[in-house]
Each structure stands twice: as structure tokens, then as C-alpha cells.
């Protein structure tokens, strides 16, 4: 017959391996402390935005058409949607990322805009006295050519290159940068953003996380602004549809009156 395992036996085993257990606890604790110091800090910011109410007039005239403005869960999903995320990416120029640790002295890259159809990959910006070149890497083929001090957009990439003439500049200036993949960036944004309803109200709280407090704040504010713009565009679309519907009804009535005459 098998002997029953007694509680005293367990205690004796633990006592016999006391040193190993204590050393393991100390090691794990020290490892956690080191990790907490080495891990880059993550900052959180939040923005509050009011959710629009439904338009009863629009619903009355557009019978059968859904209008989710009074549906808070729907609005929260809209804030988390791909359409709003794309607006955030475009507003902040998140697809454009400089790979060099330091920018060349006297050079400023401003007003960066990357369209959705711009291919992802690595590029190099070569700046000369009167123009700049953007080349593919590693091929080195010229992708676009633009003037200095003037915003130029071509092949899905728009930017303005500025030079500080007060500084001594040796041409050409070179900066390596990366165009991030759109879908990967959207997934990354979604993982760093949360949205919730503030108590029982029409207020949404948008929380974003980033490695710097400035970027976290920019993300939260831009998400709020992008959502407001998205809803305004939808309202304009609904108003246009309503106007067209009313115009059609007016035309029908005018036609009927002419027939009766």
C-alpha cells in the first residue's frame, strides 16, 4: 500500500530546501527591480469628448435610415474605428519616422503628409542647396524631387524642407527615414488606446499610452478631434441626403400640380 503524504513531510521537504527557496525569491525580486528600472516608462494621457445626440428631424424625414448618434456603444466603437485611426495617423504624420538619431544641423523637415497608397519601406532624403531628393533604399533610385522651402507633394509623400542659413551647412545633407506600414500602425494605435463612457453621460473618455508624455497627449487630443471631424462629416452627408430627398419631394409635387392644371 502507498503511504499517505503527511503535512509534516511537506514541511520537512520545504525546510530541507529552504536555502534554494530563499535564493529563488531574492533572485526573482532583484530581477523584477532591474526590469522596472530598465523598462522604458509608458505615459498615459486622456481627453474627453462629448458624443452628439440624434437628430429627430433627420430621422423623421429619413424613415428607415439608421442614425446611431444616441447610441453610446456605437459611438465608442466609432472612436475606435479604422476611419478615425487613419485620421489620427494622417494628422500626426505617424507613418513618417526618422531613423537617424540626430538631424543634420540647419535642417528642418516640416508639414509631412503620407498618403495611404504610399508604399512602406526605407528611404533617404538628400538635401542640396536648391532642391532635395528622396531615394529608395537599398536601391538608391530617385523616388521624388522637390524644391527647398516650398511644400511639395508627389507619389503619396508631401513635405517641406527648410534650411537655416545662419548655420554652416555642408551639402548634401542626408537623413534616413522609414514609411511605416499603414495596417501595422493602425494595430499599434489600437493597442495603445482605450475609450470608455464617463458614468451615465454622453461624455467619452479617450485614454492613450506612449513612451513620452507629449506624444501621449497628442494622441489623445488628436483622437478626440478626429472623432469630432468624422461626426461632422457624417452630419454633412446626412444633411445633403436630406436636402436631396426634400428636393425630390418638391419636384414630385410640382409635377403633380402641373398635371392637374
| Boundaries of domain holding 121 | 95-179
Q: Is the pLDDT of residue 54 over 50?
A: no
CB atoms within 10 A of CB 49: 23
Question: Same structural domain for residues 107 and 236?
Answer: no
Question: Same structural domain for residues 115 and 135?
Answer: yes
What is the three-class DSSP state of 113?
strand
Average pLDDT over residues 236-259: 81
Question: Same structural domain for residues 86 and 198?
Answer: yes
Question: Is residue 186 a contact partner of residue 201, using CB atoms and an 8 Å limit?
Answer: no
pLDDT value at position 56? 41
* Strand ranges across the sheet with 43-50: 43-50, 203-210, 193-197
Average pLDDT over residues 19-36: 78
Question: Same structural domain for residues 194 and 77?
Answer: yes
Q: Predicted confidence band at 83 (pLDDT cuts at 50, 70, 90)?
A: very high
pLDDT value at position 144? 92
User: Residue 257 domain-assigned?
Assistant: no
Q: Is the pLDDT of residue 9 over 70?
A: no
User: Residue 26 domain-assigned?
Assistant: no
Encode pLDDT of 64-82 as tens digits: 444 444 578 888 999 999 9
Q: Is the pLDDT of residue 167 over 70?
A: yes
CA distance 7 to 2: 16
Question: Same structural domain for residues 160 and 217?
Answer: no
Q: Per the structure, how many domains does the chain have?
A: 2
Question: Same structural domain for residues 172 and 51?
Answer: no
Question: Same structural domain for residues 87 and 215?
Answer: yes
pLDDT value at position 36? 65
Q: Where are the alpha helices (DSSP H) in 17-166?
A: 18-38, 56-61, 72-79, 82-92
User: Residue 160 domain-assigned?
Assistant: yes
Encode pLDDT of 103-146 as tens digits: 898 999 988 889 888 889 999 999 998 999 999 998 999 999 99
Question: Is residue 220 a contact partner of residue 208, using CB atoms and an 8 Å limit?
Answer: yes
What is the three-class DSSP state of 1?
coil
Least confident of 62-71, 171-180, 188-197: 62-71
Q: Predicted confidence band at 57 (pLDDT cuts at 50, 70, 90)?
A: very low
HSE value, Cβ hemisphere, 13 Å, CA-based, for 68: 10
Q: Where are the alpha helices (DSSP H) in the chain?
A: 7-16, 18-38, 56-61, 72-79, 82-92, 182-191, 213-260
Q: Is the pLDDT of residue 34 over 80?
A: no
The helix (run of H) or strand (run of E) holding residue 161 is strand 157-163
pLDDT above 70: percentage of residues in the chain: 86
CA distance 58 to 235: 10
Q: Is the pLDDT of residue 245 over 80?
A: yes
pLDDT value at position 185? 92
Question: Same structural domain for residues 107 and 84?
Answer: no
* Strand ranges across the sheet with 131-136: 96-98, 173-179, 121-127, 131-136, 142-147
Average pLDDT over residues 209-228: 92
Question: Is residue 208 a contact partner of residue 193, using CB atoms and an 8 Å limit?
Answer: yes
Average pLDDT over residues 239-261: 81
CA distance 227 to 86: 11
Amino acid at each position: 500500500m502507498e503511504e499517505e503524504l503527511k503535512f509534516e513531510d511537506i514541511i520537512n521537504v520545504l525546510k530541507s530546501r529552504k536555502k534554494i527557496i530563499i535564493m529563488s525569491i531574492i533572485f526573482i525580486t532583484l530581477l523584477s527591480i532591474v526590469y522596472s528600472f530598465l523598462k522604458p516608462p509608458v505615459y498615459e494621457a486622456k481627453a474627453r469628448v462629448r458624443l452628439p445626440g440624434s437628430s429627430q428631424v433627420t430621422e423623421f424625414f429619413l424613415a428607415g435610415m439608421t442614425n446611431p448618434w444616441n447610441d453610446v456603444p456605437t459611438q465608442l466603437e466609432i472612436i475606435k474605428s479604422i476611419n478615425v485611426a487613419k485620421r489620427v495617423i494622417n494628422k500626426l504624420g505617424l507613418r513618417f519616422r526618422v531613423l537617424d538619431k540626430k538631424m543634420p544641423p540647419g535642417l528642418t523637415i516640416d508639414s509631412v503628409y503620407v498618403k495611404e497608397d504610399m508604399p512602406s519601406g526605407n528611404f533617404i532624403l538628400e538635401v542640396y542647396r536648391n532642391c532635395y531628393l528622396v531615394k529608395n533604399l537599398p536601391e538608391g533610385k530617385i523616388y521624388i524631387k522637390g524644391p527647398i522651402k516650398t511644400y511639395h507633394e508627389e507619389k503619396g509623400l508631401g513635405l517641406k524642407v527648410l534650411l537655416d542659413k545662419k548655420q554652416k551647412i555642408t551639402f548634401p545633407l542626408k537623413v534616413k527615414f522609414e514609411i511605416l506600414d499603414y495596417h501595422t500602425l493602425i494595430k499599434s494605435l489600437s493597442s495603445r488606446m482605450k475609450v470608455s463612457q464617463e458614468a451615465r453621460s454622453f461624455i467619452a473618455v479617450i485614454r492613450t499610452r506612449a513612451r513620452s508624455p507629449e506624444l501621449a497627449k497628442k494622441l489623445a487630443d488628436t483622437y478626440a478631434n478626429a472623432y469630432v471631424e468624422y461626426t461632422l462629416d457624417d452630419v454633412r452627408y446626412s444633411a445633403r441626403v436630406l436636402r436631396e430627398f426634400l428636393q425630390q419631394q418638391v419636384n414630385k409635387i410640382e409635377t403633380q400640380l402641373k398635371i392637374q392644371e
